[in-house]
Amino acid sequence: MKIAIISDMHIGYERFRSDAYAQASEALVSASKVSDAIIIPGDIFDFRHPKPDVIAEAMGLFRELPVENLSARVVEYDGLRKTYTKLPIIAIPGTHERRADGDTDPVDLLTLAGLVVNVNQGRAIIEKDGERVAIYGVGGVAEERFRETLNRLNPTPLDGLFNIFMFHQSVYELLPFSNDFVRIEELPKGFDLYVDGHIHNKVEMKCHGKDFLIPGSTVLTQLKDAEQEGKGFFVYDTGRFTHSFEEIKSRKFFNVKLKIDGKEPNEINETMENEIVRIKDLEKNPIIRFELSGDLKQGFKNIDIESRPHKDDKEIIVEVSKSRLNNGAQKDVEVQEGISNNISIRDFGMSVFISKLKDSGYALSDPISLFDILSSEDKKENVLRKAVDSVLD
Ligand SMILES: [Mn+2]
């Protein structure tokens, strides 16, 4: 059986809304043409409370998929919710969709609409031509709860069929930052394939001697080195135990590191302009991030470096990071370390937030929701009101 693995589509992602939609669509449509089933390890949506137009966008994508080639069928289901389709599109909620236990998350909505099968804390068996594949899923939970969740659920493979374990967490080997992150050897044994979401770049590793695959997001979200790779999805062949990566058309990202030692702002501005022109020759509509480091020439200020060079050109997106400049912007060693450890700013901020909460002896059942509320771009008074509500909840 050929199984496509598509992850972290982040439909509704505000910064690159049309990219998120177009690239999710391309991945789903291409996957449905070349595979017998599709599995999705989380973050279909960018929010746990997507607006109706975002839900409609996602529903439209699944509703209009060319499913004729998706020839496997769901033949058994044992999970938290009912299921309303036999089509082999199997998903779990990710951290962006996670809600309190028992509450309806957006993946439940897609499930109710008969568009996907939610295997959060449960299992589906799909079948094609007599071959059976079992997919056991654990939706994203707060990192510090993942071990206890595994202990409680005790996922075990079934005899005589191909078993996939699908989850949505950080793993310590990739982000050696918090002991809350599960280690690969702690994942349940005996499965034939391990599939993880959450991490937004492509990863191919081994777990208990079997393939451990993370396809990465289909949309750019983090503007860091690893996201310069092409986006896409895996297709795993359960008969041959092999996989391939199918690239999709995606807006390309260029992370340009500039050492600016002893230069004046004018020279740097000119260098950035030239670089933008060079990249535009290579790639239409690029996203370019300049990462500046070092010291400016004595007597000059960081503020005179253009924050948005080439700003009249609406086809490109340019971001200038000055946080590694030595003078001017205040350096925060911890943040620098977090970034160089290849953790997303959001994950890093969240770990700091959770460790500060712990230090203060404040036990919250769902610190991640509070973090998301506090870091949302809503009006300040709304943020405060929601934060207070959530703490008193
Ligand atoms: Mn994600």
SS3 for 327-389 is CCCCCCHHHHHHHHCCCCHHHHHHHHHHHHHHHCCCCCCCHHHHHHHHCCCCCHHHHHHHHHH
The one-letter amino acid at 85? T
How far, in Å, is the centroid of ligand 1 from the Cα of 343?
A: 12
Q: In this structure, what token pair is assigned to residue 120?
A: 């959060």
Angle at 201 between CA 374 and CA 336, to 5 degrees: 55
Cβ atoms of 133 and 238 within 8 Å: the answer is yes
How far, in Å, is the centroid of ligand 1 from the Cα of 53?
A: 20
How far, in Å, is the centroid of ligand 1 from the Cα of 328?
A: 33
pTM above 0.85, yes or no: no
DSSP annotation of 156: -
Domains of the chain with CATH codes? 2-247 (3.60.21.10), 253-331 (no CATH), 339-392 (no CATH)
Q: Which residues contact 188 (CB under 8 A, 6 or more apart)?
A: 150, 154, 155, 156, 157, 165
How far, in Å, is the centroid of ligand 1 from the Cα of 140?
A: 10
Report pLDDT for 328: 46
Q: What is the pLDDT along the chain (393 residues), one digit of tens a residue?
A: 999 999 999 999 998 999 999 999 999 999 999 999 999 999 999 999 999 999 999 999 999 999 999 999 999 999 998 999 999 999 999 999 998 888 899 999 999 999 999 999 999 999 999 999 999 999 999 999 999 999 999 999 999 999 999 999 999 999 998 999 999 999 999 999 999 999 999 999 999 999 999 999 999 988 888 888 899 999 999 999 999 999 999 889 999 999 988 999 999 999 999 999 999 999 888 999 999 999 999 888 888 999 889 988 888 899 999 888 875 444 444 455 555 555 677 777 877 787 777 777 666 767 777 887 888 777 777 778 777 767 665
How far, in Å, is the centroid of ligand 1 from the Cα of 304?
A: 35
Report pLDDT for 345: 73
How far, in Å, is the centroid of ligand 1 from the Cα of 323?
A: 24
Cβ atoms of 62 and 24 within 8 Å: the answer is no
How far, in Å, is the centroid of ligand 1 from the Cα of 10?
A: 7
65: left (phi over 0), alpha (psi -120 to 50) or beta: beta
How far, in Å, is the centroid of ligand 1 from the Cα of 197?
A: 7
How far, in Å, is the centroid of ligand 1 from the Cα of 91?
A: 14
How far, in Å, is the centroid of ligand 1 from the Cα of 221?
A: 8
How far, in Å, is the centroid of ligand 1 from the Cα of 116?
A: 18
How far, in Å, is the centroid of ligand 1 from the Cα of 214?
A: 11
How far, in Å, is the centroid of ligand 1 from the Cα of 299?
A: 43
How far, in Å, is the centroid of ligand 1 from the Cα of 143?
A: 14
How far, in Å, is the centroid of ligand 1 from the Cα of 169?
A: 10
Residue the block writes with tokens 């506090």:
374
d(CA 149, CA 180): 13
How far, in Å, is the centroid of ligand 1 from the Cα of 174?
A: 15
Report pLDDT for 339: 54
How far, in Å, is the centroid of ligand 1 from the Cα of 97?
A: 9
d(CA 163, CA 39): 13
How far, in Å, is the centroid of ligand 1 from the Cα of 350?
A: 14
How far, in Å, is the centroid of ligand 1 from the Cα of 46?
A: 7
Cβ atoms of 126 and 90 within 8 Å: the answer is yes
d(CA 322, CA 328): 9
Report pLDDT for 2: 98
Residue the block writes with tokens 């002893």:
262
d(CA 174, CA 390): 32
How far, in Å, is the centroid of ligand 1 from the Cα of 41?
A: 9
Greatest alpha-carbon span in the chain: 75
How far, in Å, is the centroid of ligand 1 from the Cα of 67?
A: 25
Give the distance from CA 371 to its chain's centroid: 17
Cβ atoms of 351 and 178 within 8 Å: the answer is yes
Angle at 10 between CA 291 and CA 97, to 5 degrees: 120
For the chain, report the end-to-end CA distance as a whole number of angstroms.
46
How far, in Å, is the centroid of ligand 1 from the Cα of 301?
A: 37
Sheet-wide strand order for 131-138: 73-78, 122-128, 131-138, 162-167, 193-196, 210-214, 203-207
d(CA 122, CA 136): 6
How far, in Å, is the centroid of ligand 1 from the Cα of 132?
A: 29
d(CA 15, CA 102): 30
How far, in Å, is the centroid of ligand 1 from the Cα of 94?
A: 7
Report pLDDT for 273: 95
How far, in Å, is the centroid of ligand 1 from the Cα of 121?
A: 19
